[in-house]
A and B are shown apart, each in its own frame.
Chain A
């Protein structure tokens, strides 16, 4: 069964600190892995997308890594800001048919406190 599991479920950090969010997946056939940021009451916004051959990708203070062998990904946030408070969703895309199927994790809720 295709699954995406994220940890931790929630996290509280102080402003300026770094943090790392984890994503483990069992998805086949693998196409790509994405990280999204979702502010409360809004739609998800793409942070990074990585294919099988990429093992790291950065977007400002966000750096995603992918280990396709162990089927793990992480999202590292550097020098956190209050505006980083959001839910972070790991999404794995599986090849199939006219359009890829996306399998969503349930997200990590990050709270950055002053």
Chain B
């Protein structure tokens, strides 16, 4: 089975801090994604990448950036964390259009 691992289950950060969320997949998937999930809003796509060093903006990229230096790793960066970025962050990877697997999520609280 594909494994998508997110480095932290829970994070608490202060407003203005730079925050790194890490995601690693072990099945050589080309595509990787970052979502945030908020009550009543469902999952919303922040950024995705379909190849190393490639990135595309999703629906809500403002306040975020990403990095994909290696195929297996996709990092989400909050340049200056704000309280409205408190959320559940989910990483996913896929091979083509069907094999879509999510990580366990990182619950980020910005205080």
What is A's interface to B at a CB cutoff of 8 Å?
A: 31-32, 34, 36, 41-46, 49, 89, 93, 98-102, 104-107
Q: Of A31, A41, A104, which contacts B97 at CB under 8 A? A: A31
* Cα(A16)–Cα(B45), bound, Å: 36
Contact B98 A41 (CB under 8 A): no
What is B's interface to A at a CB cutoff of 8 Å?
A: 4, 6, 9, 31, 40-45, 48, 50, 56, 90, 92, 94, 97-98, 100-105, 107
* Cα(A30)–Cα(B4), bound, Å: 26
Closest to B104 in A: A43
Given that A89-B42, A98-B50, A104-B42 are known contacts, is A43 also in contact with B97, CB under 8 Å in the complex? no
Q: What are 27 A-B contacts with C-beta separation under 8 Å?
A: A31-B97, A34-B100, A41-B9, A43-B4, A43-B6, A43-B90, A43-B92, A43-B102, A44-B43, A45-B102, A46-B101, A89-B42, A89-B43, A93-B97, A98-B31, A98-B56, A99-B31, A102-B43, A102-B45, A102-B100, A104-B42, A104-B43, A104-B44, A105-B42, A106-B41, A106-B42, A107-B42
